[in-house]
Structure 1
Amino acid sequence: MNGECRNKGSDTSAICVIPGWNSSLASAFSAYNGPYIPGRISTQHKTVWNILTEKGEIQASISGVMRKVGKQPVVGDFVVLLDQSDIGSYTIVDILPRTSCLSRGSAGDSGEEQLIAANIDTIFIVTAVGHDLNVRRLERYLTIVHSSGARPVILINKIDLVETLPDDVSETIQEIRDIADDVPVITLSALTSTDLEKLDPFMNPDETIALVGSSGVGKSTLINALLGHDVQKTLSVREDDDKGRHTTTVRQLFTLPNGTIFIDNPGIREIQLGDSSDGIDRTFSDIAELAQNCRFKDCTHRNEPHCAVIKAVDDGIISQERFDSYHKLSDELAFQADKAEIGLKGVEKKKWKGVAVARRYVKSKEQ
């Protein structure tokens, strides 16, 4: 996992073998003169981060300025570190520009986004045959992944269990293929290494793949299978609901022998959409395409006359379940947007209240 940089002197444009490092990052980093080195976040803890650097893997915290403005790096971020190795200290002082960012809405009324990982090229949405195989849940995942800027791929794991499960599994898999549009849908078994070669087209050196999915769908088992040895702890499957038990507790970055970078994530219990409005039309591309034929450009597809989407539902072209899911997620996104706006107004109000207090303090001193 350790990264090494072949930099000579102050030449920051030299090739760096920190996983995923490239010329664009080197150009952005070149603005920093002095005792600074680049790195990539490999593991995120509560108050410290493990970082791959030219000196190997080190641990650092963020600067006071970053903490004050609420700027925190996530796994996959490329960061700038103040190098005080002479006293055994490193400090994260900045985050280099992100090319993509996976996030979800946070619980509660704040409306804030929870960042999950950054600088991802492909996101494997991992599900498994059995209780987790749910079309509506996958629509939620697709919405946040489409909004991230990364390419989604759906992996249906534990295909080795199909013979012991009801016959409708194949029907559900076909339904997933039907709603996925141009998103690849791959069936495999991480446990038996069946059909892992189907992932080869996505396993490119210096590209980053993140794994997301519920607890127990086999993300850690997949990491172990791809690496060829066990690096992530796995537990047995529960017999009552065929789910693996929760094992991964922190996000972590791994590099495969061919140079592909993987980010393993803890299972997501609740998929809050957050600010994923950009992903809704791509997830429901069939509905978005039909909507172009509605009489009104701002048609909400609820009770307007001459609605092409409602007609498609009536004609059986769009299933009622998918139509209902579209409205449910659209309404949730609108609600999240309202929460975010209220949250921003609260922050702005608090800011100007502080300014007013400061002004009164200064005025009292002048009198």
Structure 2
Amino acid sequence: MTPDAAQFSSSREFTLETLGWDESLASAFERYRDSYTPGRVSSRHRTTFAIITESGSMQAGISGALRRVGRIPAVGDFVVLHRQPDTGTSMIVDILPRKTLFTRGVPGRDGDDQVVAANIDTVFIVTAAGADLNRHRLERYLTLVHASGAEPVILINKADLAIDPSTLTSEIAPVATGVPVITLSAVTGYGLSALDPFLLPGRTVALIGSSGVGKSTLINTLLQRTVQDTGRVRESDGKGRHTTSVRQMFILENGALVIDNPGLREVGIGTAGSGMNDTFPEIRELAAGCRFSDCRHEHEPGCAVREAVAEGLLSQDRLESYLMLAKELEFQQEKAEIGLARSERKRWKEISKVARDIRGTKER
């Protein structure tokens, strides 16, 4: 079964509302009429996008205007399609306002963020019992999710492989402040019912996590059919190979929408600074008592955060994690600003060239 066929093997008909359409999107679409129709991106291929509309699934490219300004749709985006009767195809001509946007940092000198998915209500951060259960990696994921505007939920999969599943939650409790943590097994079905409050009709959930944690198996279990390939995990380090190669949105029988993502080898936080306060709420609260409002919690006098560490109220490990991410964010922000300046110089260089060409034409 091809990926696109898997999405629509159900005989149910889809309306915009079942795809997550709301009044704000309807208002943004009002200026389009006649040959325009809305749809939602379900997957991205090399040159085209799979789009779900009320009429079914279709493939569409993007307009040259969008490509020139770098506005590329992401999985989960609501887009405006222009029907082209002469060719029987449709073209994406606009991206409607995003409610939430999940991004991650990528290597490179410009400090660009990579868009992972858009218009997500909840992000399932999937980890697994064993080597992948890493508190520092979870702090990175939580920072990204909090910055996106979506609600984070931590899933500890493969509970069937743990000697005592009840102890898994306590291992990550120090970093999961205020975040739901669910222990489950996508293979046996243990704990799956705890996902029901998040998998609601018209709501969008994205799965992120390392390769081998069982995201594809969980998708297959939720859909009650095999739509994603699964692979074995190496016993030496608990890591798996990438069996999911594209981001893709599926629709469950109850109308919930689930986006599967390829495993992330690197969890760069990019410029997601706005997620730090929610990821480290105890440090945010302690920082209010620092002598200086711009305290970096390193060597400044009167630092309430470091005093809390000395008194045993905050772990040194937690503070070191915070400082490491804060420095990474600062570095990425500097790269992003340099990249923006470089991009702006390139843009003005192109404008100047066009202006010179126009003057040369007039003089001739």
Instruction: State if a TM-score over 0.5 links the two structures.
Output: yes
SS of residue paired to 1:355: helix
Q: Any idea what SS the aligned residue of 1:90 has?
A: strand
What's the CA shift for 1:4? 4.9
Q: Using the TM superposition, give the Cα deviation of residue 27 of structure 1 relative to its aligned residue in structure 2, in angstroms.
A: 2.4
Does the 8 A contact of 2:102 with 2:148 survive in 1?
A: yes
Are residues 1:173 and 2:169 paired? yes
The amino acid that maps onto 2:277 is D
Which residue is 1:57 aligned to?
57
| Partner-residue secondary structure (3-state), 2:189 | coil
Structure 2 residue aligned with 1:269, among 265, 278, 285?
A: 265
Residue 146 of structure 2 corresponds to 146
Residue equivalent to 2:230:
234
- Number of equivalenced pairs: 354
Determine the C-alpha separation between the residues in 2 that align with 1:136 and 1:30.
45
Instruction: Give the conservation status (yes or no) of the 8 Å contact 2:111–2:335.
Output: yes
Structure 1 residues 297 and 175: CA distance shift in structure 2, 3 A? farther
Normalising by structure 2, what TM-score?
0.92
> Aligned partners of 1:366 and 1:77: how far apart in 2?
44
Give the distance between the partners of 1:229 and 1:172, measured in 2 at CA: 28
Q: Which residue of 1 aligns with 2:208?
A: 212
Q: CA deviation at 1:191?
A: 1.1
The AA in structure 2 aligned to 1:185 is V
User: 2:346: which partner in 1?
Assistant: 350
Q: What's the counterpart of residue 298 of structure 2? A: 302
The one-letter amino acid paired with 2:22 is: N
CA distance in 1, matches of 2:85, 2:101: 30
> Is the contact made by 2:16 and 2:53 (CA closer than 8 Å) also made in structure 1?
no
Q: 1:243 matched to which residue of 2?
A: 239
Pairing partner for 1:253 from 230, 249, 252: 249
Cα gap change, 1:170/1:307 in structure 2, threshold over 3 Å: closer, same or farther? Answer: farther
Quote the residue 2:194 is aligned against: 198
CA separation of 1:214 and 1:38: change in aligned 2, threshold 3 A:
same
Percent of residue pairs bearing the same amino acid type: 55
The 3-state SS of whatever aligns with 2:19 is coil
**Counterpart among 310, 316, 339 of residue 314 in structure 1:** 310
> Unpaired runs of 5+ in structure 1?
6-14
Structure 1 position 139, deviation (Å): 0.1
Number of the residue aligned with 1:157: 157
**Separation in 2, partners of 1:85, 1:218:** 43
User: Which residue number in structure 2 is paired with residue 106 of structure 1?
Assistant: 106
Q: TM-score, normalised by structure 1?
A: 0.92
Establish whether residue 67 from structure 1 lines up as the match of residue 63 from structure 2: no
Kindly indicate whether the alpha-carbon contact (under 8 Å) linking 1:4 and 1:17 is maintained by their aligned counterparts in 2. no
What residue identity is the alignment partner of 1:143? T
Which of 321, 324, 327 is equivalent to 1:325?
A: 321
The letter of the residue matching 1:296 is F
Corresponding residue for 2:46?
Answer: 46
By how many angstroms is 1:53 displaced?
1.0
Question: How much does 1:33 deviate?
Answer: 1.4
* 2:132 match: secondary structure: coil
Q: Describe how 1:82-97 pairs up with structure 2 within 5 A.
A: 82-85=82-85, 87-97=87-97
Letter in 1 for 2:40: R
**CA–CA distance in 2 between the matches of 1:30 and 1:18?**
19
- Tell me if the contact between 2:111 and 2:339 (Cα under 8 Å) persists in the aligned partners: yes
Q: CA RMSD in A?
A: 1.8
Tell me the amino acid that sits aligned with residue 342 of structure 1: I
